[in-house]
A and B are shown apart, each in its own frame.
Chain A
Amino acid sequence: MKSAFSSRNRKVAPDTKQAPGPRRRRSRSRVLSAAAVVTTAGLVLSGCGQGGEQNNNVIDYWLWDTQQMPAYQQCADLFQEENPEYTVNVTQTGWGDYWQRLTAGFLADTGPDVFVNHVSRYPQYADLDVLLPLDEQPATADQREDDYAEGLTDIWTGSDGHRYGSPKDWDTIAMFYNNQHLEDAGVSPEELGSLEWNPEDGGSFEATIAHLTVDSNGVRGDEPGFDKDNVAVYGLGLSDAGGGTFGQGQWSAFANSNGWQATDTPLWGTEYNYDDPQLHETLDWYFGLSDKGYMPRFGQFNEDDGTLQQLMSGSVAVVTDGSWMIPAYAGNESVDVGTARLPAGPNGTAPSMINGLADSISAETDNPEAAAQWVEFLGSEQCQSVVAEAAVVFPAREDAVERTEDIWREQGINTEAFTGPIDDGDTFFMPVTSHGADVTALTGPAFQEIWADRPPSAEVLDPMNGAINDLFIADAAAQED
């Protein structure tokens, strides 16, 4: 399916953009259908700016992370110095609105030329033909796989074999803790970083989390008389039940070390395993921590504030979060934050999900050559070392990552917590499959329900898994026709 469209549909795409709809009647219906598109899409369009317009030498670049903005602005300045004929406009939009804005941009041809992409989204964009394959652009064709951290180019290679993203960074998950709470409880950072976990009784991990929990009378979670309904400090923080489908920053590592694989094959799987009892027992244990008072219940903290606020306000002792959040946790002077590796699970490993962002080129770009040059520059040693110096994420290039680690180490961050799983070979990728938006739409409410209403997770996930796999079965059937 994929290889067939690359040559055919791409030629059709440009003129359908202006007037999608019945193509029989010409002159008048064109105006009308344009008006109709404007009215139906008006809601989304009204929020979007004038990207990608007119001047072919202006490259519009979109990203969502405010913290990374300064580093990439610096890259843009460097790029303009080297290529005075081009201007790069960097635009930041919060994650919540980013994808809607992007969609509206694709529809109205006001989108960016180059944008930061996510693995949960790019397969759909590749299917919709809105991304340029980087291996077909002269500037990016020669990007070398082994310049980048292991596996990063794999996740950005589509099921059709084309490369749709140039890796820019990678991230793993670890625990962030409030040192004060640890000291009060008499738990050392080394202890916290070498715990083990199992779905039956939670192991030493649950015992430690319980010990770190304190109720409003000062009674700890593992002491008699603990009042689970009036907790002052929760042992473990939680803000988002599903973390975008796979519990990336929440339960993904627990499920993985209990033997769960999200999809039948790590990349481009066509069958999801949300009906796996190993996942169910993990989730029942994990969200059960909130029943015991060791973890907040759903809605107790404002979801928009995230686990960052929970830790910073002193309401929780430990949270699990991604390495991209290091600057935010470490940047606060008032709270002494440290990092520790996730616990080891039943299979004996202490794994972490690994994921990475990449830059993609919109198929609507007016100047593919300039866009590709900019993407090439973003992935080059020069720009990556700027990113490394900013120490906001682990840069994708092997030659840049050490600098970031050094800076973080100087700031007192234990980077081992994040790199340990890589060194031990215990990382696993965020699954890349088609139907990302559908899967997200179906899983989001399901995980929320498990946390909020606490039914047995099998009851919620089994039917949901069926609904997801039906999408792939329908694909297969359509292909046979």
Chain B
Amino acid sequence: MSSVTTRSSRPPAGGPRDTQDPPKRRPKDDTRIALIFIAPAALGLAVFLIWPLIRGIWLSFTNYNLLTPAEFVGLANYRRLIADPIFWDSMKTTVYYVLLNIGIQTAVAMVIALLMYRLTQSTLLRGLVLTPYLVSNVVAALVWVWILDTQFGVGNQILGWLGIDPIGFFTDSAWAIPTIALVNVWRHMGYTALLIFAGLQTLPPSVYEAARLDGAGEIRTFFSVTLPLLRPIMALVLIMTIIGSFQVFDTVAITTGGGPANATNVLQLYIYDMAFDRFQFGYASAMSVGLLIVLGVITAIQYRLSRADSSDMS
């Protein structure tokens, strides 16, 4: 997909040069060279993304147990998907997770970015903000499992000193999803903050000067100047983080494994279990296609609503 956009933007760049210096030995256009440069990435894209995507879509119309040949069954998997209460339940769980995760993460990241932008120039501090992101998901999840253990965890120890009864963060169905969402907020907020911070740095100082001259306070400036100007950046950040958030898997697999009951049975986990534990690859593929469609629709809506392709800065 990205190769299409690259190619279409090529001719205008090369065009004028051809007419200006005609006698050079240079070939008429750079298509061949360009293709050679694109090839490695395009090959990777084709082998690791496009082909599995096509194959996954094909498998969603089959009955496939991984060991015997796939058998075409038409729309049976999709009919089953519509009637499967566990699928819709896990869709709800996933959406709940995404709302909590993205809502809190974006707000916290915005605050961190503004603090970095306004209060400090220290690169050390900027680096520190990013550290949770450098920890692997699995390690982060394991560490939090230990910290929040009902019996022996430091977290509950501290709550105990405050006179609060131990909370089963990962074992109470009401707490599990919020806890997982917050663990991932902790891990990703620095990275998100850095993206927003980069966006903040592109804003021209002149608009702030103008705002100050007009007598706008900090809060007014934020809502009337910073936020609108940041819109394209925020749109990008949100699209990226929401897609990532919908695909939550490792944290859940390690902390709760979908439990208690099905309280944290997020979509990716359900798909994985269906494929690799229950050998129903066809149905698992159908659910993956379902997730693909949901993500596609959400991204399209977001793109429209946030007018991500245009900027107010001109």
Contact = CB atoms under 8 A, between A and B. Distances in A.
Do A and B form a real pair? Answer: yes
Given A39-B52, A448-B259, A299 B150 contact: yes
A25 to B, nearest CB: 13
A13 B67 CA distance: 7
A432 B56 CA distance: 33
Contacts of A13: 67-68
B18 interface: no
A44 B66 CA distance: 13
A127 to B, nearest CB: 8
Interface stretch (B109-117, B203-211, B272-280): B272-280
Given A448-B259, A448-B260, A32 B65 contact: no
Given A13-B67, A103-B276, A300-B168, A445 B52 contact: no
Interface in B69-89: 69-70
A135 B261 CA distance: 41
B277 A298 contact: no
B234 to A, nearest CB: 32
In this complex, which of B48, B51, B69, B168 has the most chain A Cβ atoms within 10 angstroms of its Cβ?
B69
Interface string B253-264: 000001111100
A365 to B, nearest CB: 15
A100 B276 contact: yes
Nearest to B149: A302
Interface residues of B, number: 34
B173 interface: yes
A16 B68 contact: yes
Contact of A20 (B66, B150, B259, B262): B66
Contact of A33 (B55, B261, B278, B279): B55
Interface size class of A (residues with CB under 8 A): 35 or more
Contacts, number: 103
Nearest to A447: B261
B69 A445 contact: no
A67 interface: no
A9 B168 CA distance: 49
A438 B284 CA distance: 13
Contacts of B58: 22
Contacts of B278: 437-438, 441
A445 B86 CA distance: 11
A304 to B, nearest CB: 10
A242 B304 CA distance: 48
Interface of A: 9, 12-13, 16-17, 20-23, 32-33, 35-36, 39-40, 44, 99-100, 103-104, 106-107, 124, 128-130, 298-303, 437-438, 441, 444-446, 448-449, 452-453
Given A124-B279, A129-B68, A299-B170, 12 more contacts: A20-B67, A21-B70, A22-B58, A32-B51, A107-B66, A128-B279, A298-B171, A299-B172, A300-B168, A302-B149, A448-B261, A449-B261
